[in-house]
């Protein structure tokens, strides 16, 4: 068993006078020493603005940031480094796409999402739909929490402008058949965006094989820092789209009345970027590269499966969602208790989970529940974490 846990210093701290049991990885992952150190080293030794001044520090900062772009390209198998746009996170990536696609959505056309989506893959499309007079359609889920592919086939038609769905649901852990959905969308010439925020650490991402138009994710959910995210877009498409934000770095030439713009990715990166964030992302990718990721994911999946078996033995435990393929998330309720109260009882035992709607209000409405308690695992969680959760939940039931 390969143990990456010692690489994450925060995991050896305590919480509420107990050893920390961190099971809120769906919200953000912890950072390995390599990432923390890379960010500090960048500020100690290299800090400068990028792509501008002709001095040594600026050259170093620029090449560190651009190395992170190369690392990201390799990580998701994009064809060209120019296909990697840095943003603030998944949310900003989707907002960016929804803004620059405005001219490609005609009044009366459909934007197809699903009932499983995170708010950040719903609200930007609503804003676009309102602007353009388009309709939002949502692929239904089954009671088990899988996307209903028959319904998807009904919704994805010649009238579909965009299909935007998540690769893995942050609320239920369902792994969605994105390959099939992308194929459906391509048959009707719809554009495709995949929200990969939960998938990047748990699936091997190959955008060339998926053949989606856009793939978006956040560094902070894959051991990198907050404040930096990725928008992958097909190069021809990116270069055919208008800019979003205007400012420095994104222009070729500016006069008082008009400007011309850089090609991708810089066209979409106005202003001083999150350089330290990019450096941290680069360090996270370098950290991940030599790891046996497939083995770690298999280990994590068996840990989740074993934990679930034990949790289901607890009186009053109600699992929410039984998707065909589950990734790293266990969403549940305890009989007669509000999820927030369960979250508090677990927190008192040093167990960090999330309670609430998880930015999935439409999903909670569909399931007719106020929210869930969500334990979300990552590659460093171990048997001790699982045991603590099982004991913690059992103990919580005795208080309720």
Which candidate in 58, 359, 361, 369 is catalytic?
Answer: 359
Complex with ligand PLP: residue 35 or 390, whichever CB lies closer: 35
Structure tokens at 84: 């990697």
Among 120, 192, 331, 372, binds ligand PLP (CB under 6 A): 120
Q: CA 162 → CA 135, 307, 316, distances in Å?
A: 11, 38, 42
The pattern of x and - marking residues 150 through 169 that bind ligand PLP according to CB under 6 A reads ----------------x---
Query: Chain-centre distance of CA 393, in angstroms?
Result: 27
Asked if residues 306 and 330 have their Cβ atoms less than 8 Å apart, the reply is: no
The nearer residue to ligand PLP, 73 or 118, going by C-beta atoms, is 118
Other beta carbons less than 10 A from residue 44's beta carbon: 9
Q: Is 72 in the site for ligand PLP (CB under 6 A)?
A: no
Among 181, 197, 308, 351, binds ligand PLP (CB under 6 A): 197
Comparing CB distances to ligand PLP, the nearer of 321 and 392 is: 321
Q: Closest distance between ligand PLP and the C-beta of residue 189, in Å?
A: 25
- Does the protein bind ligand PLP through residue 89 (CB under 6 A)? yes
Q: Which of 109, 170, 192, 376 binds ligand PLP (CB under 6 A)?
A: 170
Is residue 178 a contact point for ligand PLP (CB under 6 A)? no
274 is a contact residue toward ligand PLP (CB under 6 A): no
- Beta strands per DSSP E along 269-392: 317-319, 329-334, 351-352, 354-356, 372-376
Strand 372-376 versus strand 251-254 pairing type: unpaired
> Alpha-carbon distance 247 to 255, whole Å?
13
158 and 152 in contact (C-beta within 8 Å)?
A: no
Active-site residue 359, yes or no? yes
Least distance from C-beta 198 to ligand PLP, angstroms?
5
Query: Hey, which residues between 207 and 236 contact ligand PLP (CB under 6 A)?
Result: 218, 221
Please report whether residue 378 would count as binding ligand PLP according to CB under 6 A: no
User: Which residues have a Cβ under 8 Å from the Cβ of 58 and sit 6 or more positions away?
Assistant: 48, 49, 50, 52
Could you tell me the two tokens for 60? 């170093």
The one segment of 45-53, 193-201, 306-314, 390-398 that binds ligand PLP by CB under 6 A: 193-201
Nearest CA-CA partner of 333 in 393, 266, 290, 387: 393
Q: Which residues are designated catalytic?
A: 359
Contact residues: ligand PLP, CB under 6 A:
89-91, 118, 120-121, 166, 170, 195, 197-198, 218, 221
């Amino acid at each position: 068993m390969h143990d990456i846990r010692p690489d994450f210093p925060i995991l050896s701290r305590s919480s509420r006078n107990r050893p920390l049991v961190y099971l809120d990885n769906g919200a953000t992952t912890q950072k390995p020493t390599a990432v923390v150190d890379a960010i500090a080293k960048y500020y100690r030794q290299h800090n400068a603005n990028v792509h501008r001044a002709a001095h040594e520090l600026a050259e170093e900062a620029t090449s560190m940031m651009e190395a992170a772009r190369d690392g990201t390209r390799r990580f998701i198998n994009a064809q060209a480094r120019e296909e990697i746009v840095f943003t603030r996170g998944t949310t900003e990536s989707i907002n960016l796409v929804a803004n620059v696609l405005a001219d490609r959505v005609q009044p009366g056309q459909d934007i197809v999402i699903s009932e499983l989506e995170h708010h950040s893959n719903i609200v930007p499309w609503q804003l676009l739909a309102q602007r353009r007079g388009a309709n939002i359609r949502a692929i239904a889920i089954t009671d088990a929490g899988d996307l209903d592919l028959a319904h998807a086939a009904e919704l994805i038609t010649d009238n579909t402008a965009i299909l935007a769905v998540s690769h893995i649901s942050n609320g239920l852990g369902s792994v969605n058949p994105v390959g099939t959905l992308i194929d459906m969308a391509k048959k009707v010439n719809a554009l495709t965006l995949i929200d990969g925020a939960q998938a990047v650490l748990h699936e091997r991402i190959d955008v060339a094989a998926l053949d989606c138009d856009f793939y978006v994710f956040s560094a902070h959910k894959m051991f990198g820092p907050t404040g930096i995210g990725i928008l992958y877009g097909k190069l021809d498409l990116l270069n055919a789209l208008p800019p979003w934000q205007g400012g420095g770095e994104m222009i070729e030439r500016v006069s008082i009345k008009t400007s011309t713009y850089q090609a991708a990715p810089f066209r979409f990166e106005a202003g001083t970027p999150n350089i330290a964030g990019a450096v941290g992302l680069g360090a996270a990718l370098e950290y991940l590269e030599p790891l046996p990721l497939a083995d770690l994911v298999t280990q994590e999946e068996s840990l989740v499966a074993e934990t679930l078996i034990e949790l289901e033995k607890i009186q009053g435990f109600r699992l929410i969602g039984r998707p065909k393929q589950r990734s790293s998330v266990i969403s549940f309720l305890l009989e007669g208790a509000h999820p927030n109260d369960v979250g508090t009882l677990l927190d008192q035992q040093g167990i960090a989970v999330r309670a609430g709607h998880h930015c999935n209000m439409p999903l909670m409405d569909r399931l007719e529940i106020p929210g869930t308690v969500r334990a979300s695992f990552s590659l460093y969680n171990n048997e001790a974490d699982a045991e603590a959760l099982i004991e913690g939940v059992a103990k919580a039931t005795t208080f309720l």
